[in-house]
Chain A
Amino acid sequence: MRAEHLDPPSTADSADYSPRLRVVERGKVSSVGDGVVWIEGLPSARMDGIVRISDGSEALVFHLAADRIGAILLTTTPALMPGCEARQSGDILTMPTGDGLLGRVIDPLGAPLDGGAAPDCSGRRPIEGNSPPIVARDFVDRPLYTGSKIVDTLIPIGRGQRQLLIGDNGTGKSALALDAVISQRDQNVRCLYVMIGQKRSSVVQTIDTLRTHGALSYTTMVVAEATASTGLRYLAPFSGCAIAEDWMDAGHDALIVYDDLTTHARAYRELSLLLRRPPGREAYPADIFYLHARLLERSTRLSAANGGGSMTALPIAETEQGEIAAYIPTNLISITDGQIHFDSKQFARGVLPAIDITRSVSRIGGKAQHEAIKREAGRMKLDYLQFLELEVFTRFGAKLEASMEARIRRGRLLRDILAQDRLDPHSALDQLAWLIACNENLLDGLDDGALDAALHSLRNGAAGSGLTLDSPRTEWLTAVRGWLSSAADTLAAAGPDAPAELADRS
């Protein structure tokens, strides 16, 4: 039998409305525990519908069985116990949306966690939604700068792309994601940072970092910390996605970081097992791929006819012992448009950021790079990969021919240039400056101190030069030579230890 739901009527329904007796379903709580509730009855309950329980608790329908339903508890009261009456609300779970959320820290239900008042939101949006159809999408052809030299030059990311950050615990994945968020200052990109199952200390540290760098004003944080219920940890990325999707639909560019989806998959596995879903590989439910596919597929760039907004996703996946062929990592690799792999061995050697270029790829490639950076970066990745292969031979002390020696020298120089501290994002102008200097061999033969001075000079020069990425290369080259010359002068004035090489290049 089809029961009535107390749904809000359409305009037509309102016009035809007449008061009458309504026969509605009524369920009964049969058991409660571990953040889930089993309800007998409610045969017409639908997935993701909200059930209201007589004690005031609310639950999200998550599992449908023949004689009962399993639901994730969203809010609970001490009075919740077996026997309580449950009714379908006819509602689905929605999130507050809008610019009023910028600078706020909220939970996956939209409640403030920063001690402030309830967010002043302009609307609400279902946390689950269909991804935009193909015809509503456009090509990803505009760059999103992360501030990382390696990423912006060798593994470029475009607005609307989904780029996976993958690696062992403690290799710098979150640091790169934070760099990316910090880099969006003055880029007209709204950011959303979703933290799933993280320690409270990590959450506080992240908030402090964003606040210190002035990034919190254009960022919203959705937090389901480790102590939050399993249901909230499961909902967090979808809640964040709904907020970012609203910005995208409003024609804005959005960046969303999911930190991290491995924990999210575990939360989903926990819920599925609690609700007696049949376990599959590694006890994950059969639809674990769909879980992340439907989430990440909502990130895209919309066509002009649909507002032209974009949502760039940086999901983070954690590996164990560098095993990227594990279940969840391979799922995510196959869903996303590329991955940035962090290598623990590189991290241990002190090569930072510990990005393993051999295993990293951006399937958008240079399509989203600015023409000038694309031209300068050119074959750099290929050359660098060849250098990494050649460098193996140097360990044997073998005598190499001059051309190989030159390539190895250049590769080592490039590795030194690409070294970067965490939370130190570089602008696109700075990237172009060092690329030109490197391609013109203006940095060859410099020792560490001189190279640092030269790169510092290039960075400062590019920042206040008035040049843009569209400025002619000749202007850039003149400016780069000038900046390097001033660096040489500074070094020369510093003392006799200053390397003479820079002076010779001006």
Chain B
Amino acid sequence: MQLDWTTFLLQIVNFLVLVWLLKRFLYRPVLDVIARRREGIEKALNDAREAETRAETLRQDYERKLAEQDSAQAADMARLGDELAAERSRRMAKLDAELAAEHERQLALVEKQTADAGRKAGDAARAAALNFVSRLLGRLSGAELDSRLVDMLIEDLATLPAKQLEALHDAAAAPDASLQLTTARPLSEADQTRLLSALNDALGRSLPMTKQIDPSMQSGLRVGIGPWMLAASLADELVFFRSGARRAC
């Protein structure tokens, strides 16, 4: 076998060219790819670590916020409880005040109703008494009672206070003064005489007397002198038992 050095050298050159080409167009891109992949892996790992860090931070934030939320919720619950308790006590106080006011109101109304009932009972009793006395004395009234009432007038006339007597004197001293006698029925002559005599003595002068009959007086008499009237009649006395009302209901 003959060694051709030229060929050998060319083969070597050829081999070297092949090696260069392989390194240039195959090995280096492969290395680049490997490097890029490594970088990618590194980046992914770094991202993962960062994400893990962020997640950890978030977790811690979440747990912190959760804790804060829990404490805030607890505080809110406590405040709500306090507010509820305050509102309840406020409403209870208000209710108590309303109940107390209503109780007071009802007591006042019951008291008023009781007083009204008492007053009405008194009025009714007075009306019944008035009715009873009016009918009884109406039945019993007559000339004898008239005479007794004339006696009463004559007796009391003598004991009238000075001021009243003075006023009667003044009325009797008027130029056109006269006596107006009103009776339930005609008086007897004797009673009329006694009455006129007593009046003349009390008034210090003799005055003319007109007579009038008013059966509504039931019994007794009224004597008018100017702006005054001397009343000694059954009807006038019975007025004392009448209620203050102007008309009966």
Contacts and interface: CB of A to CB of B under 8 A. Distances in A.
Co-complex (A, B): yes
Interface of A: 1, 3, 6-9, 13, 17, 19-28, 40-43, 50, 58, 85, 87, 89-94, 96, 110, 118, 120-121, 123-124, 249-251, 304-308
Nearest to B231: A22
B240 A21 contact: no
A19 B237 contact: yes
A105 to B, nearest CB: 18
B246 A93 contact: yes
B109 interface: yes
A120 B104 CA distance: 30
Interface string B188-231: 00000000000000000000000000000000000010111111
Q: Which 7 A-B pairs have the closest CB atoms?
A: A21-B156, A41-B227, A304-B101, A308-B105, A304-B105, A26-B229, A6-B239
B240 A85 contact: no
Nearest to A120: B249
Given A250-B109, A308-B101, A124 B245 contact: yes
A21 B153 contact: yes
A18 to B, nearest CB: 10
B108 A1 contact: no
Contacts of B245: 91, 94, 124
Contacts of B101: 304, 308
Interface of B: 100-102, 104-105, 108-109, 112, 116, 120, 126, 152-153, 155-157, 160, 163-164, 166-168, 224, 226-232, 236-237, 239-247, 249
B24 to A, nearest CB: 76
Contact of A9 (B226, B227, B240): B240
Contact of A306 (B108, B164, B232, B247): B108
A443 B242 CA distance: 68
Given A24-B236, A304-B105, 12 more contacts: A1-B167, A8-B242, A8-B244, A21-B152, A21-B156, A21-B157, A22-B230, A27-B227, A43-B227, A58-B246, A123-B249, A250-B112
A6 B231 CA distance: 11
Contacts of B155: 21
25 contacts: A8-B126, A8-B243, A13-B240, A22-B236, A23-B167, A23-B168, A23-B230, A24-B231, A25-B229, A41-B226, A41-B227, A43-B227, A89-B246, A90-B244, A92-B244, A96-B249, A123-B249, A249-B112, A250-B112, A251-B105, A304-B104, A304-B108, A307-B109, A308-B101, A308-B102
A307 B108 contact: yes
Given A20-B152, A23-B164, A307 B112 contact: yes
Nearest to A20: B156
Nearest to B227: A41
Nearest to A125: B245
Contacts of B163: 1
Contacts of A94: 244-246
A85 B226 CA distance: 11
A3 B161 CA distance: 12
Nearest to A23: B164
Contacts of A22: 230-232, 236
A59 to B, nearest CB: 12
Contacts of A28: 227
A41 to B, nearest CB: 4
Contacts of A123: 116, 120, 249
Of B101, B236, B243, B246, most buried by chain A (CB within 10 Å of CB) is B246
A93 B245 CA distance: 8
A1 B164 contact: yes
B230 A42 contact: no
A8 B166 CA distance: 27
Contacts of A24: 228-229, 231, 236
Contacts of B239: 6, 8, 90
A13 B237 CA distance: 13
B229 A87 contact: yes
Given A6-B239, A17-B240, A308-B105, A23 B249 contact: no
A110 B244 CA distance: 16
A308 B168 CA distance: 53
A267 B228 CA distance: 34
Contacts of B167: 1, 23
Nearest to A96: B249
A158 B80 CA distance: 35
Nearest to B97: A304
A249 B249 CA distance: 20
B169 to A, nearest CB: 11
Contact of B236 (A6, A43, A110, A249): A6
A95 B126 CA distance: 20
A192 B178 CA distance: 52
Contacts of A6: 236, 239-240
Contacts of B249: 96, 118, 120-121, 123-124
Contacts of B100: 304
A307 to B, nearest CB: 5
Contacts of B237: 19
A250 B122 CA distance: 20
